[in-house]
Every structure is written in structure tokens, then in C-alpha cells.
Chains A and B, each alone.
Chain A
Amino acid sequence: MNLEDEHSAPEADNTSSTESVSPRKPASFFQEQPPQVMEVAPQVLRHWTRRDLLLFGMSATAAAAGAGSLLPQATLERLGIIHGNKNWPNKEWLLNRSLRIDDDVAEALYSRNRLVPTYTKSQITPLRNNYLGATPDASYIPEWRLTLDGLASGLSVVLNIRTLLASFHVHEQITRLVCVEGWSAIAWWAGFRFDDLLRAHPPMSQAKWVRIESSVNLGPWGNPDPYYVSLDLSTARHSQTLLATHLNGKPLTVEHGAPLRLLVPVKLGLKNIKAVTRITYTKDEPSDYWAKRGYSRYEGI
């Protein structure tokens, strides 16, 4: 339908109508937009309304079904939409895709040369022990060793805390640890740079990743539950990525991962693994404790 014809036709052949219409649209009425008053036959208007409402209704139904299917099964069950339906279709791909996109954005934002903000000692806040399971018994500390694997030499290197502290320069930094849960803490850390360890014990040439593991980690009932994280080598080489040995001027306590923990302030807290016992350099991306449980694999902040 040609709207221009609709608009002009009655005015052209009906003078009385035109006169009545003109006071309804004074020049100043539609100041921001030129007046677009048109005359439409009622049945055409009904047709437009029907067509658009139908289109809108179908889109809304499709959107509701699509969005509803993205909600977790437990939420849908609680809302009474499904009742223990075990064959609920797998809808994780879209959510996983958005997580990958977000990880790619985080990786693009990361720069090895960009330093994270540092704070003063007066800004230090309490740091909670956020071990998910039970806190390990301190009895592991005397026997503690760090094992390095995936080295250029092809050998495994086993180091104790004395050797490590004697071999590397200790750096201090007051940085913020940000938890995925939303809380954060500013703490004063000391330790040696991961980069210095990489220089002293170079990884194999194809290595792009590092898997960091704590064999002393415990589950909620004190059962052994090794914790492991994946870290890209570029982040490991960041000058503020430390293998920390001290917190607030004192050697790390059991609660904070004695005797050696990873401190990587460009990642969320869950990558900051406590009581590190093994570091393995790998070509392919290693698995990650929390990524397996639906969290991001990159976790760059």
C-alpha cells in the first residue's frame, strides 16, 4: 500500500475534510519529527494490527521458550515448569560459547606489560581462608617438595623450600586478590617470580601451558582431593606473578598455602592455588579443577 497516496488522495478531492484535518496538526505540534499523519482505512488498520501482534506473539513465545531452556534444570523444577525430567535437552552449548567469547575478550585485554594496581600497607584488608574443603594438617610441611615436569632437559626436578628461597630473589607486592564469588582482599605478599623459575628451569620448547597442582588439598570431609589449575605461560611470565612464600611479612601459614602458593593477581582467586606441589609444562591446555565444574578456563581479570 502506498502511504503517500493514502495521505494525499482524500485531501485532494475533499476540501471540507482537509479543512477539518488541518487544525489537528499545527506546524509546531511535531517539532522534533516532521508530521507523519496518514489516513488509513479501518480494515487495513485491523489487518496491520493483526499481522504485527501475531508476529510479536510468535517472537515472544519463541524467545520465552529459548530463554527458558537456558535456565538450569533446578530452577525450572522449582518454578514447576518441569518435573524431574531427566531427558532435558542439552542447552549448554550457547552458554559455553558465551563463556569462550568472554575468555577470548579477557585474553585480548591481557598484556604482559600492564601491571596491576598496587596498594599501600594502610590499605591491607583481612584475607580469609577460602579452602573449599578442610584445611590440610600442617604435618605435610616438613616433607614438602616442589616437582617440576615438562622441562627442556626432559628431567624431573625436585626442590625444597630452602633451595628455592636461596636460589631466587624475593619480591614484595601489595595487590588485590579477587574471588569469583565477588569478595576481594588486599594483601602484602612476598615470594619469587614465576618468570625467574622459568628462566632457571626452562620448559620444553613447545610448551604453551602450565599445570599447577596441589596434592595436599582436601575435600569437605578431609578426604584427599588434589587441586589443579591451568595457566597460560604468558601469564606465568608476568612480572607480578609470584610463587609466594610470605604473607603480611610472615611465612605463609597452612591456611594460606604454606610453604609455597601461586599468586597471580591478573587472574581470579581460584587460580591462586595454595600449597603447590607440582608444576608441569605442557603443549596442550591442561584440565582445570573449576573449569570442570562450569567456570571459565581463563579467568583473566
Chain B
Amino acid sequence: MPHSTQLDKERITTSTPESEAGVLVVRRHHLLVRCSHWLNVPILLGLILSGLSIYWASPVYQHKPNPKTGSFDPLADIGIWICVHVPGLHQYSSPPDWVYNHISLGPGMLAVALRLHWLCAYLFMLNGLVFVIGSAMGGGWRSLLPRRTDLRDALKMFRYYLGVPLAKLTHRSWPHPRFNTKYNALQRVAYFSVPVAGLLSVFTGWAIHKPTQLHWLTAIFGGYDKARIWHFWLMWFLVLFVVPHVILVLADGWDTLRSMIVGWSTRAERSEDF
């Protein structure tokens, strides 16, 4: 940003001595967005931890028992693989349980997992409701709404992200595509699909939870068993969103992470060179 350093120098020289040179700050995230964003972290973690324990009570995806391990569950296979290939885990008492012991409450926890799931689910719905009402009233939803030009712009951003590591290594300039909107096209697709996935998680959850009283909802998702599969894969969608989300935020720098906590950003211009 050669532009801004020049500007800052100019400001220092021209401002009066008693008023220190100011930093340009732009309001970025509304308090409502910040609160609902961070509340989702423990709530979704609780939903996933308890959800996997519930899934374990009757796994959907099963294959013929492996003659060597006796496992019939692909998630248990991953646990076995980890115990075999990661040093120091060979003595683990039950390798098939590894995944469930480490990324869920553990097997045989159905009663407590259900209670934790209901608690987190009601909090998730409450949080989502406040977010939806707040963004509808404040108009913040507009910045998340995908646009017609987004496909082309999203590909541009995708190309940019792919090229960043190489450009950094070779010290070559790799300009960030310029957009005159709050979020770029790829961000819009991601940030719009996450609330939609959250909403679908809630609907599929109710479809599984009340398949007789809300049987019309269960029918929308193709029946009870299919609704369970929808619910399961929506969880993976949210997990798969979080991975690049966290990587890109950390790669983008402290200002981006801080803006989700404090609400403002010192990058008055978003579309600057990386």
C-alpha cells in the first residue's frame, strides 16, 4: 500500500502537534453479527460432539465387517487407521472407538448426548432467529446475498487463493482482485450458504425428531431415513466450511480476525494488494 504510507506521512506533517495522527477506521461487523458468529462456535461444537455420539448408536454408513478388524463403520475404520499409523497409539484399548472418543462424547453416551444435543439445538435456533431478525431489520443480509456476476468473480478469487502460496514463495506480486463490495464473490457464496445450511440443519433435525407430528416436513426430505442422511451431511458441510474459513482468516491477517471481535477494521480499503 504505497498510497497510504504517503498519505500517513502527509497527515503527520500537516496535522497540528496536539492532535496525534489519526488512523482511518471503518466499521465492519455489527455487534449482532459478532455475537451470533462467536456463539456459534461452542454451540456447533456441542452439536457435533453430541451428534456423532447419537450417530454412533445406529450408524447409517456400514459395510460388510472387515475380517481383520471386525469393523463395519467407515468412521471406525479411520480410527483403526490412525491407531495403526500414528506412533504412540498402538496400545489404544479400542481402535474402532478412536474417532468417537476424540471427536464426540464417546460411544455408549446416547442419553447424555441427546440432552446436550437438545440444549445446543435450542440455543442454535435462538441464535439463528436473532441473527435473521437482526439482519432483516438492519439490512445486513444484502451484503451476503449472491449476485449474478458472482460465478465469474468467485472463480477469480479461487484462482487468487490458489496462487497466493506460490507468489509468496517466489516473492512475486500477486494482486488481490478488486471488488467494490463488503465481501468478495467467494465470501458471499460461503457466508450465504452457511446460514442456509444452518436453517436446513434445523429443518432436517425437526424432521428426524418429530417424524409423526411433523410428517410433512419429514416427507420434504424424502422420509425419515433420508432426513437423517441430510442432517449428517449438513454437519459435514459446516465442518468443511470451517476449515478453509479459519485458514483464510489467519492468512488474511490480524486485522480480519480482530474485526470480528472489535467490529472495526483499519483497512478502509478492502481490495488492496496482498
Contacts and interface: CB of A to CB of B under 8 A. Distances in A.
A4 B148 CA distance: 36
A29 B22 contact: no
- Give the size range of B's interface with the partner: 35 or more
Interface in A62-114: 63-64, 67, 70-72, 74-75, 78, 94-96, 98-99, 101-102, 106, 109-111, 114
Contact of B228 (A45, A52, A67, A182): A182
B210 A109 contact: yes
A294 B228 contact: no
Nearest to A67: B42
Interface stretch (A14-22, A148-156, A187-195, A206-214): A14-22
A102 B125 CA distance: 13
Q: Kindly name the residue among B58, B114, B115 whose own CB sees the greatest number of chain A CB atoms within 10 A.
A: B115
A181 B19 contact: no
B248 interface: no
A38 B24 contact: yes
B234 interface: no
A266 interface: yes
Nearest to B105: A75
B142 interface: yes
B215 interface: yes
Interface string B203-242: 0000011111111000100001100100000000000000
Contacts of B15: 10, 14, 17
Nearest to B215: A117
Nearest to B7: A20
B252 interface: no
Interface stretch (B68-76, B116-124, B168-176): B116-124
A41 B26 contact: no
Nearest to B142: A32
A139 B57 CA distance: 32
Interface stretch (A172-180, A253-261, A279-287): A172-180
Contacts of A78: 101, 106
Nearest to A175: B212
Interface in B70-115: 101, 105-106, 109-112, 114-115
B228 to A, nearest CB: 6
A21 to B, nearest CB: 7
B11 interface: yes
A173 B110 CA distance: 30
B106 A20 contact: no
Contacts of A64: 42
Interface in A111-126: 111, 114, 116-117
A32 B143 contact: yes
A67 B46 contact: yes
A48 B262 contact: yes
Given A116-B215, A184-B224, A74 B106 contact: yes
B213 A32 contact: no
B115 A49 contact: no
B246 to A, nearest CB: 15
B122 A98 contact: yes
B159 interface: no
Interface string A20-34: 110011101111110
A40 interface: yes
Given A29-B180, A53-B261, A182 B10 contact: no
A182 B212 contact: no
Given A20-B10, A180-B57, 9 more contacts: A6-B22, A20-B11, A24-B4, A41-B22, A42-B20, A67-B46, A106-B213, A111-B213, A182-B60
Interface of B: 3-4, 7, 10-11, 14-16, 19-27, 38, 42, 45-46, 49, 54-55, 57-58, 60, 101, 105-106, 109-112, 114-116, 118-119, 122, 139, 142-143, 180-182, 208-215, 219, 224-225, 228, 258, 261-264, 266, 268-269
Considering the complex of A and B, which 7 residue pairs feature the smallest CB-CB distances, nearest first? Answer: A294-B111, A39-B22, A182-B58, A98-B119, A181-B57, A95-B115, A116-B212
